[in-house]
Structure 1
Amino acid sequence: MTRAGAYGQKLGQFLHLKDAPPSLVTRSLRSTELAVTETRNDNPEPGLSGSLTAEDAFLVSLKLHDYPDCELWERGKCIMTADVHAGTTYLYDLKRDPRYVIDKPFHSLFFYIPRSALDGIAEQTGAPRVDELDCRIGVGHDDTIVRHIGASLQQGLRRPDEANQLFIDHMMLALTAHVAQTYGGLQRAVEPSRGGLAPWQVRRACDRLESDLGGKLSLQAIAAELGLSVSHFSRAFRISTGLPPHQWLLQQRVKAAKQLMSVRDLPLSEIAISAGFANQSHFTRVFSAMVGVSPGAWRRQAQGSSGSET
């Protein structure tokens, strides 16, 4: 079973789901695994949820469906009932055995953040270690950043073959840093302003990204080659190129596709795979969003302009 499947299975059992829900996993902080899982059941069997393994880790949950009169449990006891509203963020400490009564349709995103990931964020930013997160039971937060990151990752959860690992790494790193600062009081150490990468580092990073247009290479692997932390590499790469790594890679995919469409009369499905896209529909969506026209229309325009010049 894949790591993503294992996380999905764990939450599926917790929520009594028949099938393991989709998950995405990243290892960007001290080789620690972070995961996001989407859970939904429109017709659940009433009963108390299962228990998750007690560990020094946290769940950040973005609720996507209203859940009135939610009966909340900790450490084997019913603590309170609370109305849960769609769009609200809740935090759970897995050491406290958080559970709730499942008796209504639910739909949520769960972000799994182990303690070691919070320690990694503190270490990379030169800040003191985060002691605890704000995991008060029944207390929801109106968090626009979590909503934005959740909406972005939902596309990858629903189309895992199209998920760009660099993008997953980037978003999960951003989420962990945000949670540490907003709910753990992380204070970045005052440090001198850092510039971009050295020219040789830019060349090395770009070469590595271009060698894997499919986007399976992780941020951690590239940063490690340059002797940098993931957060420093991501920030410096953006300063040097004007784009975060995952967006720079998308531009290279589109550039490669344009070259193939310009010099070869290949089917768009073959061009999509050659340029690092999961399939033709993925290619069409990304290309259209970035270029403003579909691949087919762009090729017709390119062929028409070249024909008029001959």
Structure 2
Amino acid sequence: MYGPIQQEDAFLVGLYLRDSPNREYWEDGRRVSVCDQRIGESCLHDLRRVPTARYDKPYHTLAFYLPRAALDAIADNANAPRIRDLRYEPGAGVNDLTISGLGSLLRPALSHPDQANPLFVDHVLLAVGVHVAQTYGGMRPMSRPARGGLTPWQERRAREILQANIKHGVALKEVARECGLSVGSFSHAFRRTLGVAPHKWLTEQRVELSKEKLRNDGLSLSCRIPQ
């Protein structure tokens, strides 16, 4: 038996990582479905409706948690009306290739969190939220003037923070906050200014740092070799 989950204004998106046959599902205390969940399928849950499921076999899922505040922030950043509800069939699995693809990108990071790049994880989670908002919430951005990149002080501050955390990484929201921007606005402005996403830029800096270290180590070695 799985649930009930605490009631709150939020959604869960479950990605099934193994088959779950004959799963019974309830919302608001009423059984609404009995169906087979297949590996790679996704299922949406409105936590305001107290979703509950019964499993008679082991199951394995990856769950994305989307609180109302996150969906509001996504809509605000897209200059779109805020989302009231998500459209889904209770308990039914959907073959959403975007969610399964994004989930596969996250699984290595979850298996080895000490090696995960926080900026990359933030980008994937943001992509999941935007996809859900558009596909199941009907979010459609309104027209707006094209936005520019980072101001000189924002670019300088972003570089400082990223370079200071070049070994272990830093959460995207922390860099965005230091620049006075939302995560989405910062990501867009950073890419427009520097030509790549923040996590990609940080990876490139790590590569350059490694190359510089190799060059310096090689020079030190050559200096020690007798002529």
Fold equivalence (TM over 0.5): yes
In 2, Cα distance between equivalents of 1:200 and 1:148: 36
- Indicate which of 203, 214, 227 corresponds to 2:167: 214
Residue by residue over 1:61-80, the C-alpha shift from the partner in whole angstroms, topping out at 9 and shown as x without a partner, is 11121222211122223222
Alignment match, 2:102: 149
Structure 1 residue 128: Cα displacement: 0.8
1:70 equivalent in alignment to 2:23: yes
Tell me which amino acid in the other structure corresponds to 1:117: A
How many aligned positions are there? 225
1:180 equivalent in alignment to 2:127: no
Question: Which segment drifts farther, 168-177 or 193-202?
Answer: 193-202
Cα RMSD for the two superposed structures? 2.3
Tell me which amino acid in the other structure corresponds to 1:170: H
Alignment match, 2:53: 100
Greater RCO (Cα-Cα under 8 Å, separation 6 or more): 2
Tell me which amino acid in the other structure corresponds to 1:59: L
Change (3 A) 1:55 1:241: same
CA contact (8 A) 2:117 2:169 kept: yes
CA contact (8 A) 1:88 1:143 kept: yes
- Indicate which of 236, 240, 255 corresponds to 2:208: 255
Change (3 A) 1:107 1:305: farther
Alignment match, 2:32: 79
In 2, Cα distance between equivalents of 1:147 and 1:220: 24
- Indicate which of 74, 81, 89 corresponds to 1:121: 74
Give runs of aligned pairs for residues 214-293 of structure 1, distance below 5 A: 214-264=167-217
Structure 1 residue 50: Cα displacement: 2.8
Change (3 A) 1:263 1:122: same
Change (3 A) 1:198 1:91: same
CA contact (8 A) 1:54 1:96 kept: yes
Unmatched tracts of structure 1, length 5 or more: 1-47, 266-301
Alignment match, 1:273: none
In 2, Cα distance between equivalents of 1:92 and 1:247: 33
Alignment match, 2:118: 165
Structure 1 residue 116: Cα displacement: 1.0
1:184 is paired with a residue of what secondary structure? coil
Alignment match, 1:49: 2
In 2, Cα distance between equivalents of 1:253 and 1:75: 50
Structure 1 residue 305: Cα displacement: 11
Give runs of aligned pairs for residues 16-31 of structure 1, distance below 5 A: none
2:54 is paired with a residue of what secondary structure? strand
- Identity rate, percent: 44
Structure 1 residue 54: Cα displacement: 0.6
Tell me which amino acid in the other structure corresponds to 1:92: H
1:203 equivalent in alignment to 2:156: yes
CA contact (8 A) 2:15 2:103 kept: yes
Structure 1 residue 304: Cα displacement: 11
Structure 1 residue 226: Cα displacement: 1.9
Tell me which amino acid in the other structure corresponds to 1:83: D
Structure 1 residue 174: Cα displacement: 1.4
CA contact (8 A) 2:20 2:55 kept: no
2:148 is paired with a residue of what secondary structure? coil
CA contact (8 A) 1:58 1:93 kept: yes
CA contact (8 A) 2:3 2:51 kept: no
CA contact (8 A) 1:166 1:215 kept: no
